[in-house]
Amino acid sequence: MIQLQIIVSGKVQGVGYRYYTQMKAIQFGITGWVRNLREGGVEILASGSKENLEKFIDEVRRGNPFSTVDHIEVNEIENTETYKSFAIKY
């Protein structure tokens, strides 16, 4: 299992982006969470296989029809916690 921290910037708050991210995570068997950041972006912590994470990142980069993704930063991090599902953090 690989664990990634993904920071997404653009028009990604107030447009259903976290829900979209959760649906795509479930589709690709990704566990972790997504939350809004104060500066207007979104942070995602995603765990899964390399193949499924690549598909997930493609979808996160595309976004839903109401969002606009300007930039995405992906960093592999140490797998310190195991998640059983993918949650939206508030």
- Catalytic site positions: 18, 36
Q: Which two tokens stand for residue 33?
A: 């969470």
Residues 6+ apart with CB under 8 A from 88: 18, 19, 22, 33, 34, 35
Residues 6+ apart with CB under 8 A from 10: 41, 63, 67, 68, 69, 70, 71
Rg of the chain, C-alpha, whole Å? 12
